[in-house]
Structure 1
Amino acid sequence: MLNRKTHSADYPDSYYVATRSYHKDYPRLSESIDTQVCVIGGGLSGVNTALELAERGFKVVLLEAFKIGWGASGRNGGQLIRGIGHGTEQFSNSIGQDGVKALDLMGLEAVDIVRERVKKYDIQCDLKMGYSDLAHKPRHMQELEADKAWLDSVGYGYETRLLQKDDMHEVVGSDNYIGGLIDMGSGHVHPLNLTLGEAEAADSLGVRIYESSEVIDIQYGERPVIKTAHGQVTADKLVICGNAYVAGLDDDLEAKVLPAGSYVIATEPLPDEVWQRVLPQDMAVCDLRVALDYYRLSADKRLLFGGLCNYSGRDPKSIIGTLKPHMDDVFPYLKDVKIDYQWGGMIGIGANRMPQVGRLHSNVYYAQAYSGHGVNATHMSAKVIAEHITGETARMEIFEKIHHMRFPGGRALRSPMLAAGMIFHRIKDIF
């Protein structure tokens, strides 16, 4: 059961909603429609799948249970970070080294897709390049050194630079870190405006978008039939993009993705001398711990501070009360700064931290489980699905060779079991 404080039928009271640039409302489905492709889910995965297919000339219907960008796509931290999944080398036995290399390169391509889409459709989403990973301990620095060496080896086209402890104030006004890695090929974005802008682009190409149109039944077959309370869609192909909110759509997909709470607070706008101390280069940043902090500046120079990934399935009593001490630890001089917004939502976690992209049937596709790195990976997943529908199968075949385990225990036990398992990884962060 979703917490109604953070999951009413309308958007949450967030900084993103307060500053959205796009206000188009889409109708509720109230008829029977026949189409080539039906997409379920109005987040970044669903919207971009519809857009990719519309660009290729397909007739597409998109169904969203609430509002476009209502879920994680419109609630996340806005970090646009290269990479697909976590630790691609772990899949070498199933996809081979060529498959690992292909996934790694898709992780770079994914950010370029976002940049090109924003430019092509003139999407007003505060896109700004510049990002840095932050290290707390020597093993983090070893990871960053290896990451930079790999980027150099593949001819990464953007500036990267390792930072030592004495360099850190160039990027972040905190003494908590021993080093970092600047990556000018990653950055940050207003994610709700990105999603809404891409939806308007899809709409302009003929995609029929319906909001307040929750899918209540799917009949698989030669031509799937997708039913809502007031209408239905019959399609040649179906794409399911429910991610953390896939519960009730398909039992197999639901069993492989775990909803986990993620939360963000936004300060009041900071004076120039303050924000220039906090993040002097206006970069997005993340630390490398399991229970990580991530933060960035908004266009009007608020600090958007996120973290607190919660696997228990329960929202904290107070998002500010729980996240503000983390912010104060990083930036003690912001202790008296006012917090204007607090919000949260569910992200989809997979057991192996690799996005799940594939087919349930020959004509039924899905994309989900971005594990907190979905802004770019959603765009890549959408492109892979569109490629497969148009006959380019190679990249989909790589994703379909990756095994994704079901979380045991059913809906009632998945969250507590993962919460217990994460304690082990958080203990490792201490040492």
Structure 2
Amino acid sequence: MGPFEHPQSSYYAATANASPQRPTLSGAVTADVCVIGGGFTGLSAALHLAERGFNVVLLEQARIGWGASGRNGGQINLGLRKGPEELIAAFGEDRARTLFGMAEEARQMIFDRVAQHGIKCDLKPGTLHAASKARDQHWMQDEITCLENKYGYRNARYLDRAGIRSELGSEIFHAGVLDSGGGHLHPLNYALGLAEAAASAGAELFEQTRVLKIEQGAVNRVVTSAGEVQAKHVVLACNAYLGDLEPRIAGKIMPIANFIIGTEPLSEAEARDVIARDVCVADTKFVVSYWRLSADRRLLFGGGERYSTKPPTDIPAFVRPYMLRVYPQLAGKRIEYGWGGMLAITVSRLPHVGRMGNIFFAHGYSGQGVAVTGIIGKLIAEAVAGTAERFDVFSAIRHQTFPGGTLLRHPLLVAAMLWYALRDRL
């Protein structure tokens, strides 16, 4: 297996739907839009652009969904990484409601696309935010009130300690927010379904095609090792794998590593004890743990902090203690899968979206990308088509460059993350 194939240790790769091998770009082609990146953002942009009649070429350096889009926790969570009250404090009520509304549109898009294209991705309803600290229950109650009174959102409800104990077979949580408006899915199969939909709409998809440079002009020249694309517009959808392809924006994001394990299948009774309603769960620690049940009743659990791009030598051994802290009753269960990947965060934890002339970009979803990537791809298509009002709601968000730029950002982040990880433990 080459470095650009889906990791064999991933549950998602092991249970991926059949998908054709896309060709490698060779020679010179022309397009209206060249999309760089075959994850959720790039696939959404390619699909929406193709549906609008644009000639679209998508280039992926590995396989479709090879990056975070095919490796993540599969959670379709509420809103953005800033809570509803934080959004109002940062942007005012009107703009906060607009951002929240687009995040909700993004969630609905997933359910609509799955139904429209018949994507088999184990889509299930429901999310649960579990309070790791006693003081979390106070802001959770305030959040429910804010959602109802300021945003008109009534699909979330507060759970006290007894309520969350009835939902999760764990004694360590103090409260929670149960949201019926979200859900969870098999992210790689969703990405493969979006790719098939984009191809059916007319987009040309190329795999194993790494972009070496972009020569910007009235017509952009996107150069690969074996060919090139000439396109009026370019969409940069590389996220944590941007590297040095576009130095003007690289310092706005920080690539970090995350890891997930998958247990052997649980019995029906064990699965219901672990997560009674089969929702996905995330806790409130700064270094978040998150988990859900797969379609065949495995617990897929992500957790632990790692401040290096180099993965642990034994991912199951690294993540398992975090799972057992939540579910000590699973100590006897085999861990049959363990994989990791890179995601990108921003200083504000909001996505960095914008344009540089005729080059559009979006990245830095900070762990909230399963849904939001879909609406960002749609907004990019709208902007390319000449209607940028909604795109500008996101592009107007100001973003800091990470201290130290691309050279020193990582050691500085390590120091900060170690401090917050210590606070989690205390």
Q: What TM-score do you get using the length of structure 2 for normalisation?
A: 0.95
CA distance in 2, matches of 1:31, 1:423: 48
Q: What is the deviation of 1:389?
A: 1.5
Identify if the C-alpha distance between structure 1 residues 397 and 89 changes in structure 2 by more than 3 Å, giving closer, same or farther.
Answer: farther
Identify if the C-alpha distance between structure 1 residues 88 and 34 changes in structure 2 by more than 3 Å, giving closer, same or farther.
Answer: farther
1:57-136 to 2 correspondences below 5 Å: 57-87=53-83, 96-136=92-132
The farther-off stretch of 97-106 and 110-119 is 97-106
Number of aligned residue pairs: 424
Q: 1:144 aligns with which of 131, 140, 159?
A: 140
Partner of 1:155: 152
Q: What is the deviation of 1:369?
A: 0.2
Is residue 421 from structure 1 mapped to residue 394 from structure 2 by the alignment? no
Residue type at the aligned position of 1:380:
I
Give unmatched runs, 5+ long, in structure 1.
none
CA distance in 2, matches of 1:356, 1:217: 21
SS in 1 for 2:408: helix
CA distance in 2, matches of 1:326, 1:345: 18
Preserved CA contact (<8 Å) 1:130 1:185: yes
Q: What is the deviation of 1:348?
A: 0.5
Identify if the C-alpha distance between structure 1 residues 155 and 420 changes in structure 2 by more than 3 Å, giving closer, same or farther.
Answer: same
Preserved CA contact (<8 Å) 2:265 2:297: yes
Residue type at the aligned position of 2:191:
T
The farther-off stretch of 311-320 and 37-46 is 311-320
Preserved CA contact (<8 Å) 1:95 1:402: no
CA distance in 1, matches of 2:279, 2:60: 33
SS in 1 for 2:336: strand
Q: 1:42 aligns with which of 33, 38, 42?
A: 38
Partner of 2:7: 12
CA distance in 2, matches of 1:122, 1:257: 34
Q: What is the deviation of 1:312?
A: 3.1
Residue type at the aligned position of 2:352:
Q
CA distance in 2, matches of 1:88, 1:272: 36
Is residue 208 from structure 1 mapped to residue 197 from structure 2 by the alignment? no
CA distance in 1, matches of 2:90, 2:385: 25
CA distance in 2, matches of 1:268, 1:342: 12
Partner of 1:184: 180
Residues 22-57 of structure 1: CA deviation (Å, up to 9, x unaligned): 321100000211110110000000001000111111
SS in 1 for 2:38: coil
Preserved CA contact (<8 Å) 2:303 2:323: no
Give aligned-pair identity as a percent. 40
CA distance in 2, matches of 1:336, 1:271: 13
Residue type at the aligned position of 1:271:
S
Is residue 393 from structure 1 mapped to residue 425 from structure 2 by the alignment? no
1:27-426 to 2 correspondences below 5 Å: 27-87=23-83, 96-153=92-149, 154-156=151-153, 158=155, 160-361=156-357, 363-426=358-421
Identify if the C-alpha distance between structure 1 residues 413 and 249 changes in structure 2 by more than 3 Å, giving closer, same or farther.
Answer: same
Q: What is the deviation of 1:422?
A: 1.8
Give unmatched runs, 5+ long, in structure 2.
none
Residue type at the aligned position of 2:152:
G
Preserved CA contact (<8 Å) 1:85 1:355: no
Residue type at the aligned position of 2:136:
H
Q: What TM-score do you get using the length of structure 1 for normalisation?
A: 0.94
Preserved CA contact (<8 Å) 1:278 1:331: yes
Q: What is the deviation of 1:407?
A: 1.8
Identify if the C-alpha distance between structure 1 residues 418 and 88 changes in structure 2 by more than 3 Å, giving closer, same or farther.
Answer: farther
Residue type at the aligned position of 2:153:
Y
Q: What is the deviation of 1:239?
A: 0.4
Identify if the C-alpha distance between structure 1 residues 367 and 56 changes in structure 2 by more than 3 Å, giving closer, same or farther.
Answer: same
Residue type at the aligned position of 1:403:
R
CA distance in 2, matches of 1:86, 1:255: 21
Preserved CA contact (<8 Å) 1:312 1:416: no
Q: What is the deviation of 1:390?
A: 1.8
Residues 49-88 of structure 1: CA deviation (Å, up to 9, x unaligned): 0001111111100000000000000000111112123257
Residue type at the aligned position of 1:41:
G
Q: What is the deviation of 1:196?
A: 0.5
CA distance in 2, matches of 1:91, 1:327: 31
Q: What is the deviation of 1:280?
A: 1.4
CA distance in 2, matches of 1:396, 1:92: 19
Residue type at the aligned position of 2:342:
M
CA distance in 1, matches of 2:43, 2:353: 15
Preserved CA contact (<8 Å) 1:69 1:192: yes
Preserved CA contact (<8 Å) 2:130 2:176: yes
The farther-off stretch of 31-40 and 248-257 is 248-257
Q: What is the deviation of 1:146?
A: 2.1
Residue type at the aligned position of 1:396:
F
Residue type at the aligned position of 1:129:
P
Preserved CA contact (<8 Å) 1:42 1:62: yes
Preserved CA contact (<8 Å) 2:82 2:349: yes
Q: What is the deviation of 1:156?
A: 2.4
Q: What is the deviation of 1:329?
A: 1.2
CA distance in 2, matches of 1:143, 1:127: 29
